[in-house]
Amino acid sequence: MTPELRYADLIRKIAGGPGVTNLSQGRGFGSSGQLKIGGRIFAMLVRDQLVLKLPRERVDHLVKQGEGTHFDAGKGKPMREWFVLSPTSTKRWLPLAQEAMTFVKEES
């Protein structure tokens, strides 16, 4: 399944929940689509990779486990609370997106 189809499936499962919006044509970070809660991005597809906003410690842990990398928005500096899931990771997209959604919602 292509990343676009996986992301479309994720949107179908998570969008429409209380306060969740989907922008199919993303504007931030060069994304091709964004999921937001309360107007804040929690997941997006960037260069065919799932990018999630998670607590810094969680991102560091996932990176250490080899599940992905810190996200760099093209400015040469990795963003501490943004995680890029590796295409080879066996982590499921939906639970990670739900975790990101909860984190962003609680941050507000």
| Integer Cα distance of 74 and 80 in angstroms | 14
Does the pTM surpass 0.85? The reply is: yes
Number of domains in the chain: 1
Q: Across residues 15-23, what is the average pLDDT?
A: 85
The answer to whether the Cα torsion of 36, 37, 40, 42 is positive or negative is negative
Read off the pLDDT of residues 52-94 as tens digits, 9 standing for 90 and up: 999 999 999 999 999 999 999 888 888 999 999 999 999 999 9
The residue range of the domain holding 15 is: 3-107
CATH number of the CATH domain containing 66: 3.30.1460.30
Residue 108: pLDDT band with limits 50, 70, 90 = confident
